[in-house]
Copies of this chain bind each other. A is one copy, B any other.
Amino acid sequence: MLEFAVLGLLQEAPLHGYELRKQLGRRLGGFRAFSYGSLYPALRRLVRAGLIVEAGDHDPAGSAWSRRGRRVYRITAEGKERFAEMIDEAGPQAWEDGSFGIHLAFFSRTPAETRIRILEGRRRTVEERRDGLRSVLNRTGEQIDRYTRELHRLGLESSEREVRWLNELIAAENAARDGGADQTIPGDDAGTDEGPDFRERQDETTGGA
């Protein structure tokens, strides 16, 4: 997953580790974060696989200095190929929370068809969770712990909200496909849906910013 994200970012500009991590954190909006303990080994793996190369130190921002010790990486042709493959391989794991966010963060490099496939897969996942929670909350009159119940309630609201959000995105994708290059989200008529709010699942971690 990290490797996928790195490949995606390097496609836009050559970067060094430190910067890569910051950008990634920003891009994912705290949805997921990666530590150096993951990043540096990943970079080495990617170099070994020939998907990226260590480039000379061109400071991309054109700043005056060229710090010693920093290693700037650039994506190779094989890297771009591999990235495209990975998008295409987008399977069930892609709708499982962590991967979903990362895929979404690189959606502009993803064919529309795949985008919809991923969004719908994610929706299915979240709907299942939502239904499970809903039935648990409805079923039991009073056998479960109050705090557990609150956790369920938060989870349910989150799922409902996320489904709604996904419906908006899916509708926008369809509209864009049919209509043309429209970028705005339609008024709403994702319909069929309910209330407020979302929430992610496990993980999440902090985030930069």
Chain A residues proximal to chain B, CB less than 8 Å: 26-33, 96-98, 101, 104-105, 107-108, 125, 129, 131-136, 145-148, 150-158, 160-162, 165, 169, 183, 192, 194-209
Give the Cβ gap from A145 to chain B, nearest Cβ, in Å: 6
Q: Are A147 and B194 in contact (CB under 8 A)?
A: no
Beyond A157-B198, A161-B198, A199-B162, is A150–B169 a contact (Cβ under 8 Å)?
Answer: yes
Q: Known interface pairs A157-B197, A206-B125, A208-B194. Does A30 touch B146 (Cβ–Cβ under 8 Å)?
A: no
Q: Count the copies.
A: 2
Q: 3 nearest interchain CB pairs? A: A132-B209, A194-B206, A107-B147
- Residues in B neighbouring A153, C-beta threshold 8 A: 165
Q: Of B136, B150, B207, which one neighbours A194 at CB under 8 angstroms?
A: B207
Instruction: Give A140 Cβ to nearest chain B Cβ, in Å.
Output: 11
Beta-carbon nearest neighbor of A98 in chain B: B202
Question: Which residues of chain B have C-beta atoms less than 8 A from A197's C-beta?
Answer: 157-158, 161
Cα–Cα distance between A23 and B199 once the two chains are bound (Å): 22
Q: How far is the CA of A196 from the CA of B200 in the complex (A)?
A: 11
Residue numbers in B under 8 Å from A136 (CB-CB): 26, 29, 209
Judging by beta carbons under 8 Å apart, are B98 and A203 in contact? Answer: yes
Q: Are A108 and B204 in contact (CB under 8 A)?
A: no
With a CB–CB cut-off of 8 A, which chain B residues contact A32?
201-202
Establish whether residues B151 and A29, one from each chain, have CB atoms under 8 Å apart when the complex forms: yes
